[in-house]
Amino acid sequence: MSRVVTVAAAQVGPVERDTPRSDVVGRLVAMLAEAAGRGADVVVYPELALTPFFPRWWFADGDPELAGFYDDEVPGPSTKVLFDEARRSGVAVCLGYAERDGPHHYNTSVLVAPDGEVVAKYRKVHVPGHEQHEPWRPFQHLERRYFEPGDGFRAHRALGGVVGLAICNDRRWPETYRVLALQGAEVILIGYNTPLHYPPDPGQDRLASFHNNLVMAAGAYQNGAWVVGVAKGGLEGGVHSLAETQVIAPSGEVVAKAVTEGDEVVVAACDLDLCDRYRRTLFDFDRYRMVEHYSLLTSQRGVVPPEPQPGVGPTRP
Ligand code: ING
């Protein structure tokens, strides 16, 4: 019997600084209702889905507006309407939000079962950007000021298979997919906020769409897993962010993709048994992954060959 999970990738359009949280949740509920109507087992929302991508702005420590972006618990008071609808519809929810845990702050994603049980909670490991205000930038990327990194990637039994969570910049690092796949993850759910302009190297701007698909398709194919990338897209807070929400099969093929930059539900039937077509052949880790023959420990940089000494010819291999 095939294990098909119907996934709804719920792309969210711009959330402005003055958008009431209740309005945002209302939009998420509407997308959940649409997804349920289209047979979804799970609805996946983007990174920081409840708020604008506030790391684009500088806030002084203790600024009440900054504090207001964080939630102490999800499911919780500000998301009750959403999880009530999820319970009514019998749909699981994957939601990205800014988490406050006492004195700590994380960029977090949770997977919540229809009955409201938190099945998985993940705190973003690869926290990009910078820690101090950098006025040269047209907009900030202060995630490293506003969030601490999480403590790793874990796969969870859920949705009739094995599920992994990751967030935005994590998708650019091959380790993300491999660490989850080594734990058996068959579907990896990733929300993102990706500005189309990258101030440290504007030459990359023209490749934003290409790089977005490249990293997720490679991660899917090289690890025999489904990858679901869900955007907060469009012109938000004056910054144009990539949309292009997409569902990618273990083959690396895009099976469903958003065609707008706004709120849009993209649905795909993900047959988890397709993972074995790759995990039991090309990417049979136990048989073909030659860890004992890799000269470097996976967690360390390699020893860079010494600079050639002047006057000393290249050593013959
Ligand atoms: N955003 C971006 C991402 O990794 C970024 C950071 C932007 C990287 C543009 C490269 C280019 O998609 C988050 N939130 O990680």
Active site positions, annotated: 47, 124, 168
Q: pLDDT band for 302, please (50, 70, 90 cuts).
A: low
* CATH superfamily, domain at 4-299: Carbon-nitrogen hydrolase (3.60.110.10)
Q: Are strands 187-192 and 161-167 parallel, antiparallel or unpaired?
A: parallel
CA–CA separation, 12 and 265 (whole Å) = 9
- 16, 236 Cβ separation under 8 angstroms: yes
Q: pLDDT band for 308, please (50, 70, 90 cuts).
A: confident
Pick the closest to residue 262 from 239, 241, 234, 229 (CA basis). 234
The CA-CA-CA angle for residues 122, 189, 111, to 5°, reads: 50
Q: Is the pTM of this model over 0.75?
A: yes
- 227, 165 Cβ separation under 8 angstroms: no
CA distance readout (Å), 129 to 59, 209, 272: 15, 19, 35
Kindly state the DSSP code that residue 75 receives in the 8-state scheme. S
Element housing 82 (H / E): helix 80-89
Task: Report the separation in Å between the CA atom of 216 and the middle of ligand 1, taken as the mean of its atom positions.
Answer: 13
Atom of ligand 1 nearest to the CA of 204: 11
Q: Report pLDDT for 201.
A: 98
**Does the pLDDT at position 169 exceed 90?**
yes
Q: pLDDT band for 1, please (50, 70, 90 cuts).
A: confident
Residues comprising the chain, all counted: 317
Task: Report the separation in Å between the CA atom of 162 and the middle of ligand 1, taken as the mean of its atom positions.
Answer: 26
Atom of ligand 1 nearest to the CA of 48: 14
pLDDT tens for residues 132-148? 999 999 999 999 999 99
**Does the pLDDT at position 64 exceed 70?**
yes
Q: Which residues contact 233 (CB under 8 A, 6 or more apart)?
A: 11, 12, 13, 14, 241, 242, 243, 244, 245, 258, 261, 262
- Lookup: tokens for 236: 């938000």
CA–CA separation, 52 and 116 (whole Å) = 25
Q: pLDDT band for 294, please (50, 70, 90 cuts).
A: confident
Q: What is the mean pLDDT of residues 46-64?
A: 98
Q: pLDDT band for 306, please (50, 70, 90 cuts).
A: confident
**Does the pLDDT at position 256 exceed 80?**
yes
Q: pLDDT band for 34, please (50, 70, 90 cuts).
A: very high
**Does the pLDDT at position 305 exceed 90?**
no
In the chain, the percentage of residues whose pLDDT exceeds 70 is 96
Atom of ligand 1 nearest to the CA of 128: 15
Q: pLDDT band for 299, please (50, 70, 90 cuts).
A: low
Burial class from Cβ neighbours inside 10 Å (0-12, 13-18, 19+) for residue 200 reads: exposed
The residue ranges of every structural domain in the chain are: 4-299
Atom of ligand 1 nearest to the CA of 127: 15
Q: pLDDT band for 14, please (50, 70, 90 cuts).
A: very high
**Does the pLDDT at position 41 exceed 80?**
yes
Task: Report the separation in Å between the CA atom of 171 and the middle of ligand 1, taken as the mean of its atom positions.
Answer: 9
pLDDT-wise least confident of 17-21, 200-204, 250-254, 299-303: 299-303
Q: Bridge partners of 107? A: 98
Q: Report pLDDT for 200.
A: 98
Pocket of ligand 1 (CB under 6 A): 128, 168-169, 172, 192-195, 198
**Nearest residue (CA) to ligand 1, atom 3:** 169
Task: Report the separation in Å between the CA atom of 280 and the middle of ligand 1, taken as the mean of its atom positions.
Answer: 33
**Does the pLDDT at position 203 exceed 90?**
yes
Mean pLDDT, all residues of the chain? 96
**Does the pLDDT at position 316 exceed 70?**
no
Pocket test for ligand 1, best of 97, 168, 245 (most atoms within 8 A of CB): 168
Pick the closest to residue 8 from 34, 33, 42, 37 (CA basis). 42
